[in-house]
Structure 1
């Protein structure tokens, strides 16, 4: 059914999509309205030099980034799952503007997951509530917003496209998942394609992909459009792929159960490729790919009482991908081909003008989260697909049309001949096993960019492959699962990281957008000044003549191993250090991270950060993650990691305690010296999520009034450190660190944390061989030094010695429980506690469980009721 809306002539030349300049732009999620995810103008990055790609800048967001960024006129646009839409300088990573999606659609906690469409002066985007909106490119100010579907579960999941002043957008739905709720009346949603006036947002026409159901739950529903439309200008068509039915009439189910193969209505366009007339929305042709497919999440493992799973249920073989439009020669005849990847694992090719099936190729196993999900690419030479093996079904890789490679159970990447569908090459995800691959590929100048959903933050999840052979040219560990493809523009690659939406499946979140580029051929300066009042035309030789206004821009500009000097003032940014350098201050420098995830992030080895005041971050004040030999000195870190969960942050497991004032994750050989860390949820944290945390020095710090989990915390959080309690040296573990000469007071008074805490939070966690010496520890919520071990962990061989001065601690427990040193375990544990001055506690040393404390008699106990107590 098509709903037409009367309208005046468009006259929209002012908002028409500009033709992308060679290499400089990426205007839509699929590059342009042909949706081929290919950059035809790229000449800088090639298969010969892609191995040299390095981060030019990194932008931290409020949540995962799963959409392909878009770029034009020196600005990159992208949304995040924290509910913001960003515009960022393409060359420096400096923010131009960041706006809540709720400003555009008026909905609380609104989120967009689609790639923004860039027009001449406008950015078009959409949300997860069925609204499409336009904003000013330069300012982010709202221009218009249109609700294109009023169903309560309607969503927009893919980038709109534009031609000749008209927007085309598919409407999808979350009702398929809502059906798992026993109280939900399933189902009434109807998929549709909508055409809008690009200048005003007025609806021009709307065509449904399913018969009218009158709002009844016993009729046809479903047929969502998940991917971007593809515009075939030559034939005046807009072509989409559709999803499955959620429900069908009982008579249709009876027909299917009886073995019927033509049971559904002709206008029930499920699992279909459908071509609409651009001017009217009338359906020109369609091709269904299966006889029936009725499915909802009620068919999965759901609570009792849910009876919405169709009988018989289908395989859930949606077309989640938008189509690719290209010209091929088949049998000596030139054809315009439109091709779609499907969750069945099949890539289908049709004549774009007529819908005639040309070929189809099974590339990998299909399932409800399998096959090709979010897009495919073509440069005209090959068609490139990413296949997800969600069920871990063994299948054999194919080379030159012959199944001849190894049998795998992971996702894979493949190149198909456009004329025949022959698989030219196929490559397993390098991580093997059952690693998933959902991200759409992108291609430019002989380089194919593919993402991996591997959930280990130290794993490479971004790859550049040789598009002709599949050979790996480059890889990068982005810190999270990658479900979005990159944009390539202006000799740079823009790519988002993180997808924690399906964490039970094993995917990991992140909050980063990376800009990768080749190393500069010119010499970068060894010293760059940043100042809030900088002007671009100054000499750049002092604070008075600084040329950049943000610290991130200075980091982008300086040579590796150089110096960045932040001049006096307040910087409202999440600083990310992506190369070895010294980050220094001149005068009083404040990083105010209000509303941002972290204050300073160190993402490169051999970095020094000195003299900053870092405050008000949702997450960490200063974070060192997965890199070694950092030096953090003479910084004041206060009021951080107090996220409440209202602002999405992947590390904020406990509301109000999202990490540390200073947090070293998987870092070795680093120094945290002479800092003041106060008023955070936690003080200084060393942990091992990404690898071993060894040989670090924490010395001379004032750690005060961090109200949550404690003052200085050594936290074993990696199961690989000691599987079954047996130490696996080198893989993980918090070991061999020295905590000395710190003043640790008044911590944990709200959350019950101790002064200096050694503990593991997972089975297999390990915190061992660390030395705690010459610290002054008093007035903390738990014991001055707290060591806690559970079954299957290794907390052996730690030393608490060398004149620690331990005053009254465990103050939350009251005067009869105040404790200097507390050691609790369920498995045998040996620890040395000797040579310390422990005063004014009820218990000097208190143990619980099979603990052996050596050297206890050599401590000095003053005003202590019970020197050593074993419970």
Structure 2
């Protein structure tokens, strides 16, 4: 009623984080931690834990360690993983919760431990569907992929429904994830009923990459089923992202999300058969919403689309003033659209019969120059523009002389918060050298001065807010 804080609890140790929406049911709040999987070395705490909290006090009613036996497969100073990115499905009659879990790490491997050799299979209970009773005891698990090199979380919130299997009604749970498979399990036993691949698959079944080779894998690290599905009248609707990633036995190249495609698939819950698939010209990170006889979704390049639920025919579209990687929501005659990837992030409400406009959707956006930084032997310059989606640096490589004292100026003309962070090595596991503050633009200028490493080489930098999208290297010569 007043917004006054009732309780606050820290449940995550240093190498765990919380990245999901909370779920409340029957006086219990459900939440899971996940690991910081790119951090090296680990300290043994980098494992996801599911918590059931007392709604009144925030105290743990029970916890469940998603790493079997808690020992991180024998190498706790290197390995991490588990936990859940999305909320559970809850059987309100029994109190059973169903969870899809995160991948194991490191992936695909690190120096000295290529091809995930630090964590021999099976990496239980990662990339699994698990069922916990109302007291947090494990009822069953099913691990579709016991060993994975390619970040193929089985993370999507499960769907509880009823199917007709062999002529009999059967309660099932449907899960999916970045590996690009939708799988139905028996709700009571966890046995697999059907398994359906969605999207493009290439080399994703490999269990090792030859030394010195680079392999293209689909789905990649931003591919497969990234966002929640929806179900209605015996059909599950699945948003799919087709985006490749190139892997070696110890590393990978970050893909460019603007180069991928997507699709929306409709699957029969009784058989797992794909009823129809609509191809999209950009990745589907927008989840799925069913309303009446329509199913809505959106794409990374900002298209909001409506399809006939039965035929899969597209019947309507709207171009948002920016890209979309958040979830749509429908209420009454309104569709709410989060437009987060543009010069001006916004929440848009679309209404049946409305005739409003968004000025920024048609306005001509011109770059602003907030600083007059000029590159030199002592000055480095990097920026983010107010054009495009605002999720990139204007350069992925800078250069400086070994041992020089320099000042880097970072100009952020987007409305999205960013920083620039340089590390003393080839990735973010190395020690920090220098960073700017995290600030949103437009017209924000941040500077930091530091000594360039004395050893020639390539030194990793990134935006800490968008660590997989905004990266590059300082080349020290």
Structure 2 gap ranges (5+): 201-218, 247-258, 374-385, 390-444, 446-477
Q: How does 1:140-155 map to 2 (within 5 A)?
A: 140-150=3-13, 152-155=14-17
The answer to whether 1:178 aligns with 2:39 is yes
Q: How does 1:739-758 map to 2 (within 5 A)?
A: none
Query: Matched residues in 2 for 1:461 and 1:359: separation?
Result: 32
Paired position in structure 2 for 1:292: 147
Q: How does 1:736-815 map to 2 (within 5 A)?
A: none
Contact 1:160 1:229 survives alignment (8 Å): no
Paired position in structure 2 for 1:515: 349
Paired position in structure 1 for 2:153: 318
Paired position in structure 1 for 2:276: 425
The answer to whether 1:270 aligns with 2:126 is yes
Q: CA deviation at 1:291?
A: 2.7
Q: How does 1:666-705 map to 2 (within 5 A)?
A: none
Cα distance change, pair 149–653 in 1 and its aligned pair in 2 (3 A)? farther
Residue 626 of structure 1 is aligned with which of 359, 362, 368?
Answer: 362
Residue 337 of structure 1 is aligned with which of 167, 172, 184?
Answer: 172
Paired position in structure 1 for 2:163: 328
Cα distance change, pair 358–461 in 1 and its aligned pair in 2 (3 A)? same
The answer to whether 1:194 aligns with 2:51 is yes
Paired position in structure 1 for 2:314: 472
Paired position in structure 2 for 1:223: 82
Q: CA deviation at 1:219?
A: 6.3
Cα distance change, pair 263–345 in 1 and its aligned pair in 2 (3 A)? closer
Report the TM-score, using the length of structure 2 for normalisation: 0.64
1:498-532 CA-partner distances (Å, limit 9, x unpaired):
14xxxxxxxx5641111121127xxxxxxxxxxxx
Q: How does 1:652-731 map to 2 (within 5 A)?
A: 654=370
Q: CA deviation at 1:449?
A: 1.2
Paired position in structure 1 for 2:31: 169
Paired position in structure 1 for 2:100: 241
Query: Matched residues in 1 for 2:284 and 2:159: separation?
Result: 19
Contact 2:225 2:239 survives alignment (8 Å): yes
Q: CA deviation at 1:186?
A: 7.1
1:222-272 CA-partner distances (Å, limit 9, x unpaired):
11311111102334310101111115999xx899879x9x8436xx20111
Residue 338 of structure 2 is aligned with which of 491, 496, 510?
Answer: 496
1:682-726 CA-partner distances (Å, limit 9, x unpaired):
xxxxx9979xxxxxxxxxxxxxxxxxxxxxxxxxxxxxxxxxxxx
Query: Matched residues in 1 for 2:45 and 2:57: separation?
Result: 29
Query: Matched residues in 1 for 2:372 and 2:53: separation?
Result: 44
Query: Matched residues in 2 for 1:340 and 1:438: separation?
Result: 17
Structure 1 gap ranges (5+): 1-137, 294-313, 394-407, 455-459, 500-507, 521-559, 561-577, 580-602, 605-623, 629-649, 658-686, 691-749, 751-871
Q: How does 1:86-485 map to 2 (within 5 A)?
A: 138-150=1-13, 152-173=14-35, 175-179=36-40, 184-185=41-42, 188-210=45-67, 211-213=69-71, 217-218=76-77, 220-247=79-106, 263-264=121-122, 268-278=124-134, 280-293=135-148, 314-365=149-200, 366-391=219-244, 410-429=261-280, 432=281, 435-454=282-301, 460-485=302-327
Q: CA deviation at 1:473?
A: 2.1
Query: Matched residues in 2 for 1:472 and 1:367: separation?
Result: 27
Q: CA deviation at 1:651?
A: 8.1
Q: CA deviation at 1:349?
A: 0.7
Q: CA deviation at 1:161?
A: 1.8
Cα distance change, pair 627–328 in 1 and its aligned pair in 2 (3 A)? same
Cα distance change, pair 510–447 in 1 and its aligned pair in 2 (3 A)? farther
Paired position in structure 2 for 1:65: none
Give the secondary structure class of the aligned counterpart of 1:176: coil
Report the TM-score, using the length of structure 1 for normalisation: 0.36
Query: Matched residues in 2 for 1:654 and 1:332: separation?
Result: 68
Cα distance change, pair 651–439 in 1 and its aligned pair in 2 (3 A)? farther
Give the secondary structure class of the aligned counterpart of 1:465: strand
CA RMSD of aligned residues (A): 3.7
Q: CA deviation at 1:325?
A: 0.9
Give the secondary structure class of the aligned counterpart of 1:142: coil
Q: CA deviation at 1:159?
A: 1.9
1:135-180 CA-partner distances (Å, limit 9, x unpaired):
xxx5433222222222x2423222222221111112223x12335x
Q: Which runs of 4+ in 1 moved over 6 A?
A: 253-258, 650-653, 687-690
Contact 1:224 1:243 survives alignment (8 Å): yes
Cα distance change, pair 333–199 in 1 and its aligned pair in 2 (3 A)? same
Give the secondary structure class of the aligned counterpart of 2:221: coil
1:819-843 CA-partner distances (Å, limit 9, x unpaired):
xxxxxxxxxxxxxxxxxxxxxxxxx
Cα distance change, pair 194–477 in 1 and its aligned pair in 2 (3 A)? same
